[in-house]
Chains A and B, each alone.
Chain A
Amino acid sequence: TQLLEQSPQFLSIQEGENLTVYCNSSSVFSSLQWYRQEPGEGPVLLVTVVTGGEVKKLKRLTFQFGDARKDSSLHITAAQPGDTGLYLCAGAGGGAGKSTFGDGTTLTVKP
């Protein structure tokens, strides 16, 4: 069974601060997705990382896939209230159509 540990579970910061969310596993994934979910809505895909060591940037968000494809991180620079939400990492490769989700990080950015 593949497991993804996500940390921290909860994060409350002031607008303008930086933060990093981690997603770790002992298993190798063929790719890893990051999603953001706002209250009352479904998760929205932010990015997919596939290659070990890959770094992708999406405006103020930077995503990194570990060299061994077992872990990933999400760094947000100068967080804004609009970044508030539940951030989920999901690893693919555990079987046809099946992704392993991390436990999620609930981020609150206060104005």
Chain B
Amino acid sequence: DTEVTQTPKHLVMGMTNKKSLKCEQHMGHRAMYWYKQKAKKPPELMFVYSYEKLSINESVPSRFSPECPNSSLLNLHLHALQPEDSALYLCASSQVQQVRNEQFFGPGTRLTVL
């Protein structure tokens, strides 16, 4: 199984809502990532989990809260978002190594904040 799945595919939320994005992989990868991507731009790294522990937080606002319940699952909890947070949110996974950081991406969640 070389697939990373993400749910939901689309999400529309108001600025006062709380929602969660979910990501799952069964490739045995111990590194998992959250990225934010705007149209025709490269993915921007948000968080990296390595062996289920948060290893990188790229100064992301606290209204985004990541969680890694186990080695296969990654969540992103959303609260009090702003319209400028509307974007494609991508999850990725990889083996934990520095030389060949080959990442496998999910299809993304298209988030719209009203």
A and B bound?
yes
Counting residue pairs across A and B whose Cβ atoms lie within 8 Å, the total is 80
Q: How does the 8 Å CB contact mask read for B9-45 relative to A, with 1 for contact and 0 for none?
A: 0000000000000000000000101000000111101
- Say whether B107 contacts A42, CB under 8 Å: yes
> Which listed segment binds B: A13-21, A53-61, A71-79, A95-103?
A95-103
Cβ-defined partner of B40 (8 Å) among A90, A97, A104:
A104
- Distance between Cα atoms of A30 and B100 in the complex (Å): 7
Would you call B70 an interface residue if the criterion is a C-beta within 8 Å of the partner chain's C-beta atoms?
Answer: no
- Distance between Cα atoms of A103 and B40 in the complex (Å): 9
Looking at chain B, what size class is its interface with the partner chain? 20 to 34
Nearest-neighbour CB distance to chain B for A63, whole angstroms, equals 14
Would you call B94 an interface residue if the criterion is a C-beta within 8 Å of the partner chain's C-beta atoms?
Answer: yes
Instruction: List B contacts of A102 (CB < 8 A).
Output: 42
- Say whether A30 contacts B99, CB under 8 Å: yes
Instruction: List A contacts of B65 (CB < 8 A).
Output: none
- Say whether A42 contacts B90, CB under 8 Å: yes
8 tightest A-B CB contacts, nearest first: A42-B105, A92-B101, A101-B42, A97-B48, A30-B99, A97-B31, A43-B105, A104-B42
